[in-house]
A and B are shown apart, each in its own frame.
Chain A
Amino acid sequence: MTLATSDPNVLHDWITVGPASRLLGTSPARPYVTRLLGAQACVWQEAATPAATLDGAPVSALLRYGYIWIWPAGTPAPLFDFPEYDEPGRRIVDCDGFGVAVSGPRMVENFLDMGHFPFVHADYLGTVPHTEVKPYTVSVDEANDEIRVTECRFVQPKSSSISTEPLEVHYRYRIMQPLSIMLYKSAFGRPDALDAIALFVQPVDEERIFAYTVMALFDDDSSHTSLVAFQHTIFGQDKPVLENQVPKRLPLRPGSETPTRCDVASVAYRRWLKARGMRYGVIAD
């Protein structure tokens, strides 16, 4: 196998290639075909497990959290934990993916960012003049090598498909992998509980991705269609912004872009990527 990258951050980790539903009706002769890390990926259903090739070579594959995961090279380790997916009382909603002409790390940084809500998601996730990003806490969970962002608050006019009035919404984030992130936010009508929304990024190549979202919600009332449509509306607002960031790869060198106070989560993410020696989809130096 000759992949265009030698970055262990994307070779020695589980990377998604799309929802498990893509495997319906597949066989070795008629696999689900997609692109990953600049190469062709083929996946098909074999008995209870999926089988896959990447650039023609067999690779380990896994179905978890409703998604197909591939370990591009070497011996697999366990996938990160997403406990809310299996938690009783939560409703799982797969929103499938958007193709976006941007690098994976730019996508994750956007998902992590509250400051853009009043401008990119005006009248949904934010509204002028409620633009302030209040201080929040960032830490690195050394045991799991994850970034935790906690105590985030933001005033939102329409925080979900069923919300009807502005609300100070609580947020938390968890970055499990360079290209996988969870967002937890106040469930509408359940102030004690947090909905969980996962973003899984499939790097088609260094500057093109599919971005998938899976939600684990406390909401028994909304229709599946309205929940997915809301998520797609939000994502459709982000897409033109993501595709017009220059450069498409995330610059990691300090000084190449100018952060401010509310960007401490983004700064921590960039440092974390740099410390891991991330090269795929970033400008490392």
Chain B
Amino acid sequence: MHDLPLNDMTMIDMTTHLPAPGRWRPVLPATSLTPSAGVVLGFLQGEELALWRAPDGSAQAWENRCPHRGLRFTLGTVVDGRVACGYHGWSFRAGDGRCMAIPAHPQMTVPRSICARTFHAVEAEGMVWVSRAPVAGAPPATGVRTWVRTLGIRASPASVAQTLAGAGWRAAAPDVLAGGEIGGDAAVLLLTQAADGLVLLHAGLVDAPDPACLPQIHAALRRLRGELEAQADLAITGTEGAKQ
């Protein structure tokens, strides 16, 4: 990976405040968490998350790894309101992630210490937000009514933020870009760092879109992705050129 120089245009991880113990980061649209979807993959600062919806409707976000043998929870299923690991069927409850059953030993009391590693998750304006540490307040308001699409962008968060700032988007809050338009509609973009060089861009519209306009909205998002990736490629080429 190429490290791009960070500057004051970088909006991810660059708030005007000192680092807080926890803060909400956008992970995925809440509509992704359906009973049929089971356990869904998401990302928090490059780390894999396993997300699912508990019987009480609350969003759950866990480390994507069973503590027993390290199988990704996203290969598991939601059974009777718990996540059952796909390897040995160990089942973990919502909330504290505690293991409640080990099928290989049906009579055994499961030690309280066996737990999935859990994160804090909250749903706001149709988006699931996650934090490692407790957060006092709510996630930033986005004003979004409709999440239209999540795109994967092959670029660093810094490059994406810089290109969007150059195109007139402003940082309304960390990871939240507002003030721009997609296909002529007022839009908000949320950024998730999925991996080194991969950003998820969640595009939301401030008003409910006219269905007839959806094709042009999607075309505009594809063009935006192309521009963001082209700018990232240019930056990398430029960096390499400077080293020679």
- Chain A residues near B (Cβ < 8 Å): 109, 115-116, 118-120, 128-129, 131-133, 240-241, 244-247, 251, 257-262
Can you report 22 residue pairs joining A to B where beta carbons are below 8 Å apart?
Answer: A119-B85, A119-B103, A120-B86, A132-B103, A132-B106, A133-B105, A240-B75, A241-B71, A241-B75, A241-B87, A244-B71, A244-B72, A245-B69, A245-B70, A245-B71, A246-B48, A246-B65, A247-B70, A258-B67, A260-B68, A260-B108, A261-B105
Q: A133, A244, A257: which has the most chain B beta carbons within 10 Å?
A: A244
Pairwise interchain contact B67-A257, C-beta atoms closer than 8 A: yes
Closest Cβ–Cβ distance, residue B70 to chain A (whole Å):
5
Closest Cβ–Cβ distance, residue A256 to chain B (whole Å):
9
Pairwise interchain contact B71-A131, C-beta atoms closer than 8 A: no
Pairwise interchain contact A132-B105, C-beta atoms closer than 8 A: yes
Q: B69, B72, B74, B105: which has the most chain A beta carbons within 10 Å?
A: B69
B122 contacts A by Cβ under 8 Å = no
What number of A-B contacts does a CB cutoff of 8 Å give? 68
Closest Cβ–Cβ distance, residue B195 to chain A (whole Å):
14
Cα distance, A128 to B104, chains bound together (Å):
10
- Point out the residues of chain B lying under 8 angstroms from A261, CB to CB: 104-105, 108
Interface residues on chain B, size class: 20 to 34
Cα distance, A258 to B87, chains bound together (Å):
14
| Contacts A119-B85, A131-B89, A241-B87 known; 18 new A-B pairs at CB < 8 A | A116-B88, A118-B103, A119-B103, A120-B87, A128-B103, A129-B106, A131-B104, A132-B105, A241-B75, A244-B75, A246-B70, A247-B70, A257-B70, A260-B68, A260-B105, A261-B105, A261-B108, A262-B104
B102 contacts A by Cβ under 8 Å = yes
Chain B residue, CB-CB nearest to A260? B102
Cα distance, A115 to B102, chains bound together (Å):
10
Chain B residue, CB-CB nearest to A245? B70
Chain B residue, CB-CB nearest to A247? B70
Pairwise interchain contact A259-B87, C-beta atoms closer than 8 A: no
Pairwise interchain contact B105-A119, C-beta atoms closer than 8 A: no
- Point out the residues of chain A lying under 8 angstroms from B88, CB to CB: 115-116, 119
Chain A residue, CB-CB nearest to B108? A261
Cα distance, A131 to B104, chains bound together (Å):
5
Q: Which 6 A-B pairs have the closest CB atoms?
A: A131-B103, A133-B104, A115-B104, A262-B104, A244-B72, A245-B70
Chain A residue, CB-CB nearest to B89? A119
Cα distance, A118 to B70, chains bound together (Å):
18
Cα distance, A244 to B87, chains bound together (Å):
10
B64 contacts A by Cβ under 8 Å = yes
B114 contacts A by Cβ under 8 Å = yes
- Point out the residues of chain A lying under 8 angstroms from B85, CB to CB: 119
Segment 42-61 of B: residues with Cβ below 8 Å from A: 48
Known: A116-B88, A119-B88, A131-B89. A259 touches B68 (CB 8 A): yes
Closest Cβ–Cβ distance, residue B106 to chain A (whole Å):
6
